[in-house]
Structure 1
Amino acid sequence: MSRSVWRLLLTVMAGFAMIGAVMTGSAQDTAPLAHPTHIHEGTCEELDPNPAYPLTDVASVAPDAPVGAVEVSDTTVDVTIDDLLASPHAINAHESAENAATYIACGNIEGAVVDDRLIIGLGEQNDSGYAGVAVLSGFDDGYGGAGTDVTVYLAPGLSGEALAASPVAEEDAAASEVAVPIVDFVFDPEVLEITVGTTVTWTNEDAPPHTATSTDDVWDSNILNQGDSYSFTFEEAGTYDYICSIHPSMTAQIIVTDP
């Protein structure tokens, strides 16, 4: 896992404050189904169906919640991150207790551990429209005991369908700063052309959190709650692809040319 993703670890725990803002579905007569979630032995491609470590169910948002509303599960498990990394393990979410054979999101537990934390992506399974991230935080209780706190974030409503192409936005040659608002789960514009030395500022205008994360380790905004901004200055020409780490279907590109 890239160093840029690990920087997200340092702020993701602060994201608990956002949950009240994004769980916006209205009350329903019937509670939405929860998603059973477990740590399994094996990988997402070859998963042992028997859970190794059960996690708290991911509570589903109401049916009329906005696209991308975040669902959360918090669990403490009696196993260290090192032990989980010693052999293949994965975090897997199921559609429901009644439909446990249908997987909706899965992520392999792998990568580098920084400050006793590991973050992994959860990819969509079976065209579920769900994707997300899991944060594993190791701890030592000081009395010889050790374990891992596991927080799973899932975002429903992401079908995986390609986003409609947006016109390429060209920066004014004299400009040195460009704003990219994040609105309705889209980076606006999705394709931006700028010159070397330009500073791009992303601002999250959505209620759910987002990130602007380079796919090649160049920059990472960390979590942007509503109203938060992040800026990065492009010093080298090239083509840069980036995503929202929380909503991987959100993709965009910046093309940087010499003046």
Structure 2
Amino acid sequence: MKTPRWGCVLLLLAAGLLSACGGLSTEAAIATGIAQTLQISGLETAAAGNGVQATAAQAAQDTPAAGAADAATATALPELGTALVSVTQDTNCRSGPSVQYRLITTIAAGQQVQVLKTFQGSEYVVVQVPGGAGDCWLWLRYATSSDFSAYNLPAATQPPTPTATLTPTATATPLPSFGGAWTSKTASGASNYTGAITFTLSGNTVTGSTQFSTYSYSFTGTLSGDGQQVSGTWTSSVPSNGSWTARLLNNNQFSGNIGNGWSFCGWRNGASEPGSCQWP
């Protein structure tokens, strides 16, 4: 408190006044000094009050309102930018979250793309197709980040699973075969003979027998790798023997020869005799 210091000053002032008023009576001088002392004391009190008010006002100006401080703190959070992701190796980006969906593009290793939506409980997010319109579903197995919860991205809705298109199995067209019954013919010049013959196949071995005129003929041969030609030997009841060869023209015709200038051909299932019975 400042009262003791001001009290000393007042006493000194009173003493000075008493000296200056030497012509006054002692009682008058005392009375005058007391009155002046009281006046000065009142000025001191007023001045002290004004100082307190000024200090309080200044403190009020220096102290921010609590609400303003709270508001400043609330808006001081950092702003999040665009959600981006990249992959460490080339990754397919599809029309849905599995390999069943159509491939749209491939995200190259190190390429950044924008994340648009998340799909809870999966390893997929929806990203912007780089350099084009639309979006695609990116697998996060090789992604540099998999948590985008801080961005408050919308949730993606899974597209309907595409129906698998079954590719029909191609049915191989069977190659023509020597096996089965034929009408056969052998000819040389003006002489020609026909007879029924049945070829039997066992592995790549062909056997068959027929009768031309009054003579029987037996054939044995080996098929080529594709089964379209046969070469072998024959015997007959003449008696005679020789070599033979034949090739399939289609499943119902063949042409060939039995040596010594004799042609050998066959037909079946309503087909006609080949245009050329001789081969080669």
- Quickly name the TM-score band, shorter chain normalised: under 0.3
Say which one has the larger Rg.
2
Give the structure with the larger strand fraction: 1
| TM-score, structure 1 normalization | 0.21
Give the structure with the larger helix fraction: 2
RCO higher in structure (CA 8 A, sep ≥6): 1
